[in-house]
Structure formats: C-alpha cells, structure tokens
Amino acid sequence: MFDIPRPTTERAILIGLRTKDITREILIEQLQELEELASTAGADTIMKVSQDRIMPDRALYLGKGKVEELAQLAELNDIDLIIFNDDLSPMQVRNLEKMLSKKIVDRSGLILDIFASHAKTKEAKTQVELAQLQYLLPRLTRAWTHLSKQFGGIGTKGPGETQIETDRRIIRTRISSLKEKLLKIESQKQTQTQQRKDFFRVSLVGYTNAGKSTLFNLVTNAEVLAEDKLFATLDSTTKSFELDKTNKILLSDTVGFIRKLPAHLIASFKSTLNEVDQADLILHVIDLSHPYFKDHIQVVEQTLKELNCEKKRQIKVFNKVDLLQDRTVLDELKNAYEHSVIISAERGINISLLLEMIKESFTGSHVEESIKIKISEAKIISMIHSLAEVLSIKYTQKFVSITYRATKENSNKIRKMIDG
C-alpha cells in the first residue's frame, strides 16, 4: 500500500453536486456522511459547498465560476485538501488541481484511504493494495506527472516507451501478482469452509457503523474492535457459539457497506465477503436511530444483489432502539418488515428474541430422521455421528436404531451412504 506522509489533521472543504435526480435533503445527508468519512480519515471539515447542475461538467465537475469561487475560499481558509462526494475522472482531477492548487480527493479515493489505514491482517492489506492500484492505474497522468516526459539521448533509444507507460506496466504486473495471492487466500478459505460445512452459518451484514461488531461481541463473547466510526471492521471474523444446550452455530462479522462503494473494492474483498455467500442465514443489522436508515437498507440490499445473495434467508435486525427519538416508527416497522426484530446490542435489549428467531431458522433448515442399520456398519454409524446430531441410539444383537437431526444436505448424504 502507499503511505503518504501528511499532518495529523488536514483542513478540508467538502463538495457536493445536486443533479435532477438528487433532492436537497439527500445531498445534505450525503455530505454529512462524507464528513464522517473525512473525519475517520483524519480530516477536519471546515466548510461544505454545493452546486445545482443538470449534470456534472465534463472537464471540471463543477462550473468554471464555482471552481474560481472555490479557489478563493480554499486560500482564505488555509485549506489542505478538497473532497468531492462523487468519483472524478482523471481529466477532472487534473484540471481541478491546476485551477485550485490544492490536493483533490474523490469519494473512492477517500474510502480507499480509510481502508488502507484500517487494514491489519495480511489478507486485508492485500485486498486494499489491489483496490488502490486498480484505482490509481487510470490516474497516473495526474499522480505522477513528473514521470511523463519522453527522454532522449544516449542509452534511451529503443521501444520509445514513456516513463508513465513503464509505470503502468509495473502496476499491472503488481495487480496480477496480488490477484494470484488473493486466489491462494481464497483457496485456503475454501478449505476452512469445507471444515465448517456441517455447521449452521449465520452472517452479519449491514451499513457501516450499524453495530454489527457490537452485536457479534455480545452474542459470542468475542473481542472484535467495535468503535463508533465508519469501517472499524475490515476483516471477517467467525466464531462458534451455543444457540442452546444441544446446538452450536457459526456467526461471522463482515465489512460494512456504504453507498457508492467502489466496485473494484467489492471485487478485491470477494474472499472476505464469501462468508456472506456461504451463510445459511443473513442478519441484516440496521441503525434504527439514523434518519436515513431506509436508504441504508436499500444500499445493503443492492450490494447483496451484486453478490448474488439477495435470495438467502434474512432477518432484519433493527439496532440502537435505545437511541431512537421518534417511537412511533416502531409500529410502522412491524407492519413493513415481517421477518424482523428490534434490539439494542449496546444495552442487550431483545437479544433473547433475536436468538429465538435464529433458532427457528436453524430448526427449519434441519430434519429429524430415524434409521435402522446392521450393527456391523461401523463406518456408517461413525459418519452419522460426524454429519448429524444424534438424538437417540439403541443397540440390539444385530441392528442399531438411530434418530438424528441434520441439515437437509447432510441427511441426503447419510441416506445415499445407507442406500449405497
């Protein structure tokens, strides 16, 4: 990853564009979220500036007059960087840097910066570096303009390749290397997944800072980092816990989602998000106290669709009820979302009800079977113990009668084994 030296706190202006598809209220909320992202990255928001346009300007994103006004504001307020609420094209960034003489960061660049700061494990660091390089590749013309000259003279004759083309080739080679590394990591994870296939798996998903890690820690007694800031968790963590005296399940905590999450970032985190793909049940955690929680639900559902996980069984977990100001919304939720529960992970409110709903899903995914086999079939008896929960077992001189509970998949395996 690329470590860029910078002061502890940088002074920033946030820029938003309101087009015909965005209401003023939505833009205000998006800029508020952008301010939270900037704060997480270590920037201090000095002011927010917006402009109404039918569409972004192709060359400058904003109108030329607005950019000139922005240059004056940046100079008067000793601004270090200007953060844009949307992704900018390389040409827009280049032109804005020329006119503003300030560091320009777009939304994807900001999110990648946060991910780079929060990546702790080898896997997360590899995933973030890959996303950074894929983001940087088309932007080399502005990031490394000092390398873009074509040099002549002795020792430079040959293919006539500019330095910027050489840099691009180096980055493409590094991208290929990182992709291979992630494929190996994914292969190792698939081995782990095979070992976990006999367990009922539950995955926590949700908008960033919805309280997934707090809920995970409460249920599993783990010590995953849970902070009141965006993207505190990047690595998926899986831990088993006892649903009751006889049943154990696996619960996974995953990276939070956010609107306009860079596509290459989702692709890079594919191995981490495989926990969602492999889940038998998804717990969609929602920050009920957030004024735009319904928009957050749509963002998460769209991301699940991109991961081809939208048809999985799901419980909507409305969290932070203790912070809710308007209690009238609770009746609306019960009517609008049938398979849902309202909780507070911080205060432990309604956690027993959530666990009961998980148990219902668990039992609904399992079947109870009773079989009778010859006592000499020791291999099959051993396999039943490994694939299922044995509820009762009775021996006679020649036969063994076994009653077991197993997933439908494992029950089919046992049946095929006996028939075979």
* Predicted pLDDT at 88: 92
Distance, in Å, from the CA atom of 12 to the CA atom of 14, rounded to the nearest integer, reads 6
| Contact between 276 and 282 (Cβ < 8 Å) | yes
Residue 116 corresponds to which amino acid? A
Q: What is the pLDDT of residue 271?
A: 61
What's the pLDDT score for residue 142? 44
Residues 83 and 110: their CA atoms lie apart, in Å, by 8
Residue 75: CB atoms within 10 A of its CB come to: 12
What SS3 class is residue 337?
coil
| DSSP letter assigned to residue 62 | S
- d(CA 183, CA 195) in angstroms, rounded, equals 19
- Rounded Cα distance between 331 and 266, Å, is 35
Give the per-residue pLDDT at 160.
Answer: 45
Q: How far apart are CA 69 and CA 71, in angstroms?
A: 5
Per-residue pLDDT of the chain (420 residues; tens, 9 = 90+): 555 555 468 899 999 999 988 889 889 999 999 999 999 888 999 999 999 999 999 999 999 999 999 999 999 999 999 999 999 998 999 999 999 999 999 998 898 888 888 777 788 888 888 888 888 888 775 444 443 344 443 333 344 456 677 788 888 999 899 888 888 877 776 666 555 556 788 999 999 889 998 999 999 887 766 666 566 666 678 888 888 776 788 898 888 888 887 777 777 676 667 778 888 899 999 999 998 899 999 999 998 888 888 888 899 999 999 998 888 888 888 888 888 999 999 999 999 999 999 988 887 767 778 888 888 888 888 888 877 778 888 888 888 888 887 777 777 888 888 876
Distance CA 344, CA 352 (A): 11
pLDDT score, position 199: 77
DSSP secondary structure of 117-183: HH--SHHHHHHHHHHHHHHHGGGHHHHTGGG-----STT--SS---HHHHHHHHHHHHHHHHHHHHH
Distance CA 13, CA 26 (A): 19
Contact (Cβ atoms closer than 8 angstroms) between residue 37 and residue 106: no
Provide the pLDDT for residue 191.
63
Whole-angstrom Cα distance, residue 357 to residue 75? 57
DSSP SS3 for 244: coil
| C-alpha pair distances (Å), 171 with each of 1, 156, 168, 200, 342 | 12, 22, 5, 41, 47
pTM score above 0.85? no
Buried b (16+ CB within 10 A) or exposed e, 360-387: ebbeeebeeeeeeeeeeeeebbebbeeb
pLDDT of res. 408: 72
